[in-house]
Structure 1
Amino acid sequence: MVMRRINNRLATQLNKKVEIWHTVASTARNELGQKPVEDQLLDTVYAGIIPQTGSLLTGRTADTDLSRTTHKVIMRYRDDLTPDMWIMAEGVRYDILYIMDPYLNHERLEIFCEVRI
């Protein structure tokens, strides 16, 4: 009964369709004989994106302001994600910082990310 309630709450949080990307070595060789790396779509899933922290970095050249923003992405559990991957949602790239399986029950993942500008 408790597990069913948790699953229902999880389903209501997964309100955005996101893409999971990673880099892979190309099968073709370039003119130097190397196999270049290329971006490849791993999967498209539903997830929830929750803003966590934000800080304004000032004092740069020409008084430009940069923002460092972190988010938590919640999705159903899967075992093929690694920190060198990234998530794309509505044209925004979220670089994965670390991946957490709360309570180690393999129900969902909390993926802490940083927005890449």
Structure 2
Amino acid sequence: MPSSPSFSPPAPSLHLRVLATWVAVYPTITIALAVLRTRIGSLPLAAQTLVLTAVVVPIATYGIIPLLLRLVAALSTRSVPGEGPVPGSPHHRPGLRRGRPVGDDRTGRTGSRERHRG
């Protein structure tokens, strides 16, 4: 029995990934600095940066960024009522407009026009 191809939604744009990374990293760095400042303040700057990035990078990479990207994906698959699915969403079918083939004016004709012979 042939297996059906699995659908994977399109990856968010580079701009959305950059924004999600910044939204994750900025508050994480701010919180980490506030918590760690008294503990690492006497260390040399390079050591402070090492400790800070050792804390922030895993939290952002494994926790916050994937959560934000799932949120972006969920929001991008929503559609406006009456407008049909958003292009690129799992429910979008190119060539259809509100469930009808493009060009279908309810007369039975589709986008291709028949040539008159005669």
Higher helix share: 2
Task: Tell me which structure has the larger Cα radius of gyration.
Answer: 2
Q: Tell me if TM exceeds 0.5.
A: no
| Richer in strand (by share) | 1
TM-score, length-normalised on structure 1? Answer: 0.20
